[in-house]
Amino acid sequence: ETTTGSDDIIVAVLDTGILSGHPDLAGRLIAGYDFVSSVSRARDGDGIDPDPEDPGDDPAGQSSSFHGTHVSGTVGARSDNLTGVAGVTWQTRIMPVRVLGAGGGTSMEVSQGIRFAGGLSNVSGTLPQERAHVINMSLGGGGTSPIEQDAVLAVRAEGTIVIAAAGNDDSSAPYSPAGLDGVISVSAVGATSKKVSYSNYGDKVDVAAPGGEFWDSDGDDNLDMVLSTIGDDRGRFSYTYYQGTSMASPHMAGVVALMLAVNPELTPEDIDMLLEGTHPQTSTRITIDLGKPGRDDYYGHGLIDAAQAVRAAGELPGGPTPTPDKSKLRLSTEALDFRNFLKEIPFAASNGGTGALTITSVTTDAPWLAAAPVSGDAPLVIEITVDRSGLGDGTYSGSVQVESDATDGPSSGSVDVTMTVGGVSAGDVGECLVRIIDPDTMATVAEVMTDASRDYMYTTPAVAPGSYFVSAGTDRDGDSEICDIADACGVAPSQGEVSQDVTGGDIVVTESAGPR
């Protein structure tokens, strides 16, 4: 309602390159560069060259990640086009800069990619027609890199805002480039706005954004992973779910691009102060405080709030002519379904307008339903809990009523709540692959097929003692990948330890989200 972005803004995606033919990225891409110097890692027949097309990062040509295409789709996939997914910013130009090949990349390659994107001299001997306003790096490794640090500080001095993934090791150890000075380090939260198990943390984390989780924590029958543009080694374009701080970082990059769309004069220092809540020219917070009050090592300064961030950007010099303040109540969902096993789900009440917005009351209409907190300043995360004790089997309905002092549009809103006690759901979704997955590498270590004729009973091959996810889903397009956009999918609700034979592993398998 305020902005969908601007094609005057350029976001550089430093990654594995791009599948330029993907239809949901048509019109979004501008010229980039390939800085992968090793011929064997590059897999495109040469070293550095002007073509950032992604030939795949699997030497066997079977299961390449096409990671850069997924990240680019989150930043700026074409939107409102009845196809695929929506980017955070509906209008922006994406500069693909290839710095990762088979087996990854080097600090030299990353640093040269940073310099190129920022419009500074580099080993290619060429410069982009226009420097990037934002650099996203969903990549990294342990330790620190002086050469990357020098490149970051150099492009930052020219006005480029640098953003990077905090890493997926559930660690506070040094990590580069996210831990470098001048880089906005992004940790990951899931659908319930809590730190996901894999996300790095520590004193270098600046902000949190959606990274996804490999299960359905909020009961909406969809995996809580990030769906975005992808392809395969056979040249087909599609969409798939990924999780990681790699997915969180482009959410933040997209929001910064929206901020620059309303105020192109924003500097890296402006973004730093806005995140910290210390900018002298606005009191508007651009994050929702999570965890301990104030900055903490899990969420930095909090979860990025796109509407508040755009609003704050507009209030700074260079923004649009101020208009009278009008606050507008926005709820992040219209309905919550706790099914027969979920106990708590949060939703957010935020301000879709300008000016201050106070949530004056949050009430429920059923004795088994509770909400907290019951008031506060927007943006406000409201935790909804259900209590099944003493209730007979069946489905129960209730609602949460939110009242505010909004001056534009309705001042109140409601969220319908459904909760089930007892019972199971059954049906025939076709053949399902049940897979045991290593939570660190997300690699499949064992799998077995089952279907309705066997009542979906399954026994997997034996695996070594350890901690695993168990997932199940269909493979309707025959690409050996379950949980694609057209598949039914489910995952065990938490990572489990296996030290002996385990029985009774139930998995709820439901249809995935996506175009029907």
Q: Which residues are catalytic?
A: 15, 67, 246
Cβ distance 254 to 87 under 8 Å? yes
Q: What is the dihedral of CA 463, 464, 467, 469, to 10 degrees?
A: -20
Best CA proximity match to 446, nearest among 458, 438, 436: 436
Best CA proximity match to 132, nearest among 67, 62, 60, 75: 75
Instruction: Compute the distance between CA of residue 275 and CA of residue 286 in angstroms, rounded to an integer.
Output: 6
Cβ distance 131 to 31 under 8 Å? no
Burial of 176 (0-12, 13-18, 19+ CB in 10 A): buried
Residue at token pair 């997924």:
70
DSSP per-residue letters across 410-474: -SEEEEEEEEEES---------EEEEEE-TTT--EEEEEEE-GGGTT---PPP--SEEEEEEEE-
Instruction: Compute the distance between CA of residue 165 and CA of residue 8 in angstroms, rounded to an integer.
Output: 25
Cis peptide before 250, with omega less than 30 degrees from 0? no
Residue at token pair 């390159």:
17
Strand pairing category for 380-386 and 303-304: unpaired
- Based on DSSP, count helices (H) and strands (E) in the chain, helices before strands: 7, 28
Instruction: Compute the distance between CA of residue 262 and CA of residue 315 in angstroms, rounded to an integer.
Output: 10
- DSSP letter (8 states) at residue 386: E
Cβ distance 243 to 196 under 8 Å? yes
Best CA proximity match to 155, nearest among 177, 139, 174: 177
Positive or negative CA dihedral for 168, 174, 175, 179?
positive
Cβ distance 110 to 33 under 8 Å? no
Best CA proximity match to 229, nearest among 476, 487, 19: 19
Cβ within 8 Å of residue 309, ≥6 positions away = 255, 256, 258, 259, 274, 286
> Which two tokens mark 57?
């990062």
Instruction: Compute the distance between CA of residue 214 and CA of residue 245 in angstroms, rounded to an integer.
Output: 13
Cis peptide before 52, with omega less than 30 degrees from 0? no
